[in-house]
Amino acid sequence: MSKLQPVRGTRDIFGDDMRRFSHVVRIFERLAQAYGFDEISTPIFEFTEVYKRTLGETSDVVTKEMYTFEDRSGDLLTLRPEYTAGIARAYMSGGMAQAGVSRLFGWGPMFRHERPQKGRFRQFHQLDAEIIGAAEPAADVDLLALAWQLLSDLGISDRIVLHLNSLGDQESRLAYRAALTAYFADHVDALSEDSRMRLQKNPMRILDSKDPGDRALLPDAPQIADYLNERSRAFFETVCAGVKSLGIPYIHDQRLVRGLDYYSHTAFEFVTDALGSQGTVLGGGRYDGLIEMMGGPSTPGVGWAAGIERLAMLIDEPPAPMRAVALIPMGDAAEKQALVLARDLRAAGLRTLMDYKGNMKKRLNRAAKADARLALIIGDEEVARGAVVVRDLDHSTQKDCALWAVHDQVRMMLAAPPIADISPAASRDVIDAEQP
């Protein structure tokens, strides 16, 4: 029986959870298009080397969390743990560099083998937005504006704070790295085993450590702001000025860093305290060295990703789905007429249900359980008269409507208060009609 359950760390999304999920995606897609981004979809698995290069062979994601397998051809493949590497690969292999700046967005599933907890799954979903080919700080501000607009339109911006920092250019990072190495070398006995390894390969990753002993050393560690050169300071000041001009509140968080060498300049996270320990709902930064490190030309880039599940947990009740119209044909001629009417209503964007069997009372009950607002009842008598009985299921009122006017009548009734019961004698008492 256990094999019929979802795999640990995965889940089925349906009902209210699916409505929340879809609401987040729809808002994001609308905004991304308004901001001039083009949609992209990349494969959910790539050659493992794509992620080893971009995430670092010693990172926790690569060493502990990736779902990696050998396919029948002997190739080593990995289910994507994040979006940016695949988009960067697509930018290179798809010849997008010839088109200049690319503004790309997408969403889809990611996979990491980590301990499942609130808001975190082994298969999870992310929104992603990237600007590749733009070195100017205005691109960073544009992406931050998109992120803030998304959070605002979802109605959750009042519970989220932007944390913003500068990682500087390569010259600044090298100076900072040297200072960190010297500091942690003086405290090597207090470091965790993992951080001793990080000290040799990438000391900046120690700043992300969750080990209590490592974290006790962080308050006195050097801060990157003290090692920024003039160019890096000017870049960050421009970003901050742009954020201020847009009215986006932020905190200059000097402990916010990225451990990999291809990151530069802007780093940011949108953080909430409404999800417990899983506080970051959206994060990103500039990665000017990524594509060059992957074997392409020197190409600037900046982007962010956001967890759909985490955003969905924060939003209020999303808008209810469109109320349905249920078609109830009674008889062969009525069923043919109902099929045509259903097609036309659906083509007009109206949620339309069809019921195929049972007596009138049972069909009306099923329509009510499906939360239909209206029932359109057609029998042989209605076919002969070119009419439909329109029943308001919320208030048990009904009226006759000419077939040619049904479309407008349905739209008006879905948007208006319930109708008065003005049914003529020809409109039969449909509740009592027990046709087989």
**Per 3-state DSSP, what percentage of the chain is helix, strand, and coil (rounded to 5)?**
45, 20, 35
At residue 59's C-alpha, the angle toward residues 280 and 121, to 5°, is: 45
Q: How far is CA 186 from CA 44, 189, 217, 343, in A?
A: 43, 8, 11, 75
Annotation-wise, does 411 bind a ligand? no
Sort residue 200 into left (φ over 0), alpha (ψ -120 to 50) or beta: alpha
Residues in contact with 84: Cβ distance below 8 Å, sequence separation at least 6, in sequence order? 54, 128, 130, 287, 290, 303, 305
Q: How far is CA 342 from CA 2, 350, 376, 381, in A?
A: 42, 9, 10, 19
CB-neighbour burial class of residue 353 (10 A; exposed 0-12, middle 13-18, buried 19+): middle
Hey, what's the torsion of the CAs at 144, 150, 156, 161, to 10 degrees? -10
Maximum alpha-carbon separation in the chain:
95
Annotation-wise, does 171 bind a ligand? no
In three-state form (DSSP H/G/I as H, E/B as E, the rest C), the secondary structure along 148-162 is HHHHHHCCCHHHCEE
Annotation-wise, does 258 bind a ligand? yes
Note the helical H segments in 228-331: 230-245, 290-293, 308-314
Amino acid identity for residue 357 in this structure: K
Annotation-wise, does 292 bind a ligand? no
Annotation-wise, does 82 bind a ligand? yes
Q: How many whole angstroms separate alpha carbon 265 and alpha carbon 140?
A: 10
- The three-class DSSP label of residue 52 is helix
Only one residue has tokens 């905190």, namely 251
Annotation-wise, does 84 bind a ligand? yes
Q: DSSP code of 117?
A: B
Strand 301-307 versus strand 123-132 pairing type = antiparallel
Annotation-wise, does 346 bind a ligand? no
Residues at the annotated binding site?
A: 82-84, 112, 126, 130, 258, 262-263
Return binding residues for L-histidine. 82-84, 112, 126, 130, 258, 262-263
